[in-house]
Chains A and B, each alone.
Chain A
Amino acid sequence: MVSTTQTEIPPARPGGRSRPRPTGRLGDKIFLGLSQGSGILLLVLMASIAVFLSYRAAIAISKDEGNFFTTFDWNPAGSPPVFGIAVLLFGTVVSSIIAMVIAVPIAVGIALFISHYAPRRLAAPIAYVVDLLAAVPSIVYGIWGALVLVPYLEGLNLWLDQFFGWTYIFEKTEVGVARSLFTVGILLAIMILPIVTSVSREVFLQVPKMNEEAALALGATRWEVIRLSVLPFGRSGVISASMLGLGRALGETMAVATVLSPSFLISLHVLNPGGGTFAQNIAAKFGEADAFGRDALIASGLVLFVLTLLVNGAARLIIARRKEYSGANA
């Protein structure tokens, strides 16, 4: 924001914002052109992706003999072609929710530890290690998940079934190894930890020292300082960090495709093998799909695109409403 007290700059426009005028020098003009060009390029790119997706999706959906939103099947090669996104939407949302429920508290914990508890010497390496999690390719997570996580989770699944089976959600009604949405959720949680942690950490570090010191001066313990000044200040930042993580979880492909045992059924029993996600389905079906099958997959991709837009939009709304708190991530 440009302050209006500077005399060289004309007073703010009625809209409340002021914009620096170009000075007329060549460098300024080039820079203006470049930045405007990049901005417009971005818009054109997004628009062309949307147009491409909508066009191909329209072709596919017009020939779909089932209901695109409620059919529990994916068979564009069949006669008649039938496909629907209900299962994919359910699987994508459920696995992402599981990932968020697991990852966000842990990520906030790690971020608080790094920013407020850990000795400096320990905080740095922990921060590196968490950031490094983001550098592991997702297919590696998939292989690790299939070979290590799945066998080890069988015990946890049985335990959950035994003690929490009454919740319905954790009731395991089908035999089978742990290639379920729950396993996928755990894997996704690990994958989104770095982004949620590092953004939250940045936000927590920017809590005004005055606030914390004021709380300390009033005799607050360290936990009370965090509860009274750090968390309220960082809330919108944590929300936006979570949404970034959610964005990644929604679109994750290879790791899910490797770990999940897909099926076109909707079941709230998250421990049962089965289910599917948009990205996983595209990866699994793209190879053998004919031209029409690819259009059908693109139609499902469009739904994922819209879903991601909605999530991001919601995040923006939440953050905008809490702007007064946020110094960092408005």
Chain B
Amino acid sequence: MKLQRKNRLRATALGALAVSGALVLTACGSDNNSGGDTGGNGGQTKAASNVKCDGAKGQLRASGSSAQKNAMDLWVKDYMAACSGVEINYNSSSSGEGIVAFNQGTVGFAGSDSALKPEEIADSKKICKTGQGINLPMVGGPIAVGFHLDGVDSLTLDAPTLAKIFDTKIKKWNDQAIAKLNPGAKLPDKAIQPFHRSEDSGTTQNLGKYLAATAPSDWKYEAEKKWPAPGGQAASGSSGVASQVKAVDGSIGYFELSFAASQKITTVDINTGGAAPVKASSENASKAIAAAKIKGTGKDLALDLDYTTKAEGAYPLVLVTYEVVCDTGNKADTLGTVKSFLTYTASDEGQQLLTEAGYAPIPEAINAKVRETVASLS
């Protein structure tokens, strides 16, 4: 008995040691979104010359979409380098959390992958007092479809084929439909393993919108944040899907382009029906976003993307993420910083920075309206 008690004491001590060690380690891993170096962007950290810090002061908290995290990291770093004494903290949780935080009045602005829903706008009127929440398109980006198939270096697919693959209607890589789009490619007789997001995600919703618009007879699901189709496998987050695609031969999945770049995953070229298949790139995504129309009313600049565009070199599978602010009735102590910061992010310089992180700049015609709106915020 005595021996036993001593053992237990010792085990507890060891356990405590392990736990505290783990705590110390995890403490170092907490997210560091105000300025940490994001992979592959080194060297581009010079202080922005045209940042206007007028009226900016103190601390600004923001929260929302993780899709624009890498862009925010770059912007915040440059902005804080130019405007000393101003601190911006963007918590890249998720669009839903961002909007909830915005409507509770705890953040100066929110990032969101999809425009505010009517009931969310209704909620926002409580916080904005004299106005309401509006969407400002700030970051565009291609959603890359990455694949891993040993022996195949490039792959062209069109929307109906993509829809059937993600709906597990096409099960083998050497299926007729794929072979027809890729003459000359040596497609193996291997099962296709499609991966999707396990949690709700704006990226999933945008893929759904694209497939529903371009392949309505093959994709009959509603475009929602949750993955609608029954088959396939799921992984958590864009990074989770990307690492599964990286690891599993015969897999295919979707994620923001930057994940394809950082994990060195080959992406699918999309046959839009135009002259040639289109590669997923920042430039090509911008061309597709240029075909978008503004559907928001008043100062709201929510976009209606044209997924069926066949324009030369326009990559149609795109995502636009918004910054959500009040048109009028922003909180006095953050208004100056919000205006100053968003003026910078919408500037040519700010938008130019996007291409370096695998995003796409908002086309000039739309961006001009964004700047106008930012200047009029009150």
Which of the 9-residue segments A95-103, A123-131, A155-163 touches chain B? A123-131
Looking at chain B's contact residues, the main secondary structure is mixed
Q: Return the CB mask of B356-378 against A: 1 if under 8 Å, else 0.
A: 00000000000000000000000
Are B200's CB and A176's CB within 8 A? no
Are A287's CB and B200's CB within 8 A? yes
Contacts of A179 in B (CB 8 A): 233, 235
Smallest beta-carbon distance A277→chain B, Å: 12
Smallest beta-carbon distance A295→chain B, Å: 13
Which of the 9-residue segments A72-80, A241-249, A304-312 touches chain B? A72-80
A148 at the B interface (CB under 8 A): no
Interface residues on B, range: 35 or more
Are A263's CB and B230's CB within 8 A? yes
A324 at the B interface (CB under 8 A): no
Partner of A124, one of B7, B100, B191, B231: B7
User: Of residues 123 to 172 in A, which have CB atoms within 8 Å of B's CB atoms?
Assistant: 124, 127-128, 131-132, 134-137, 140, 151
Q: Return the CB mask of A261-291 against B: 1 if under 8 Å, else 0.
A: 1111100000001100000000011011111
Contact A74 B7, CB 8 Å, known A131-B15, A137-B22, A177-B233? no
Contact A285 B200, CB 8 Å, known A132-B18, A135-B15, A135-B18? yes
Contacts of B201 in A (CB 8 A): 288
Partner of A131, one of B1, B4, B11, B99: B11
Are A261's CB and B198's CB within 8 A? yes
Residue on A nearest B95 in the bound complex, by CB:
A288
Partner of A127, one of B7, B231, B248: B7
User: Of residues 261 to 283 in B, which have CB atoms within 8 Å of A's CB atoms?
Assistant: none
A136-B96 Cα distance, complex, nearest whole Å: 32
Contacts of B94 in A (CB 8 A): 287-288
B10 at the A interface (CB under 8 A): yes
B37 at the A interface (CB under 8 A): no
A257-B198 Cα distance, complex, nearest whole Å: 9
Are A284's CB and B198's CB within 8 A? yes
Residue on A nearest B232 in the bound complex, by CB:
A263
B19 at the A interface (CB under 8 A): yes
B333 at the A interface (CB under 8 A): no
Contacts of B191 in A (CB 8 A): 175
B52 at the A interface (CB under 8 A): no
Contacts of A120 in B (CB 8 A): 3
B234 at the A interface (CB under 8 A): yes
Smallest beta-carbon distance A25→chain B, Å: 31
Number of contacting residues on A, CB 8 A?
40
A258 at the B interface (CB under 8 A): yes
Contacts of A315 in B (CB 8 A): none
A205 at the B interface (CB under 8 A): yes
A202-B1 Cα distance, complex, nearest whole Å: 10
Partner of A128, one of B10, B26, B231, B247: B10
A25-B267 Cα distance, complex, nearest whole Å: 79
Are B96's CB and A263's CB within 8 A? no
Contacts of A293 in B (CB 8 A): 96
Contacts of A137 in B (CB 8 A): 22, 26
Smallest beta-carbon distance A55→chain B, Å: 20
Which of the 9-residue segments B42-50, B129-137, B178-186, B219-227 touches chain A? B219-227
Are A290's CB and B248's CB within 8 A? no
User: Of residues 162 to 205 in A, which have CB atoms within 8 Å of B's CB atoms?
Assistant: 174-177, 179, 202, 205
Smallest beta-carbon distance B167→chain A, Å: 13
Q: Return the CB mask of A52-93 against B: 1 if under 8 Å, else 0.
A: 000000000000000000000011011000000000000000
Contacts of A287 in B (CB 8 A): 93-94, 96-97, 199-200
Contact A288 B19, CB 8 Å, known A176-B193, A177-B233, A262-B198? no
User: Of residues 219 to 267 in B, which have CB atoms within 8 Å of A's CB atoms?
Assistant: 222, 224-226, 230-236, 244, 247-248, 250
Contacts of A273 in B (CB 8 A): 233
Smallest beta-carbon distance A202→chain B, Å: 8
Residue on B nearest A292 in the bound complex, by CB:
B119
A10-B191 Cα distance, complex, nearest whole Å: 79
Contacts of A263 in B (CB 8 A): 230-234
Smallest beta-carbon distance A78→chain B, Å: 6
B14 at the A interface (CB under 8 A): yes
Partner of A284, one of B11, B15, B199: B199
Are A132's CB and B193's CB within 8 A? no
Contacts of A258 in B (CB 8 A): 236
Partner of B230, one of A265, A284, A285, A290: A265
A284-B197 Cα distance, complex, nearest whole Å: 10
Residue on B nearest A258 in the bound complex, by CB:
B236
Residue on A nearest B7 in the bound complex, by CB:
A124
A110-B198 Cα distance, complex, nearest whole Å: 37
Smallest beta-carbon distance B105→chain A, Å: 15
Partner of B200, one of A77, A174, A205: A77
Are B233's CB and A257's CB within 8 A? no
Are A132's CB and B200's CB within 8 A? no
A176-B11 Cα distance, complex, nearest whole Å: 40
User: Of residues 1 to 57 in B, which have CB atoms within 8 Å of A's CB atoms?
Assistant: 1, 3-4, 7, 10-11, 14-15, 18-19, 22, 26
Contacts of B93 in A (CB 8 A): 287
20 contacts across the A-B interface (CB closer than 8 A): A124-B3, A135-B14, A135-B19, A135-B22, A137-B22, A140-B22, A175-B250, A176-B233, A177-B233, A177-B247, A202-B4, A205-B1, A257-B198, A263-B230, A263-B233, A273-B233, A287-B200, A288-B97, A289-B200, A290-B96
Q: A124-B10, A131-B11 are in contact. List 14 more A-B contacts (CB 8 A).
A: A75-B224, A75-B226, A77-B200, A128-B14, A131-B15, A137-B22, A179-B235, A261-B235, A263-B231, A264-B230, A273-B233, A288-B96, A288-B97, A291-B100
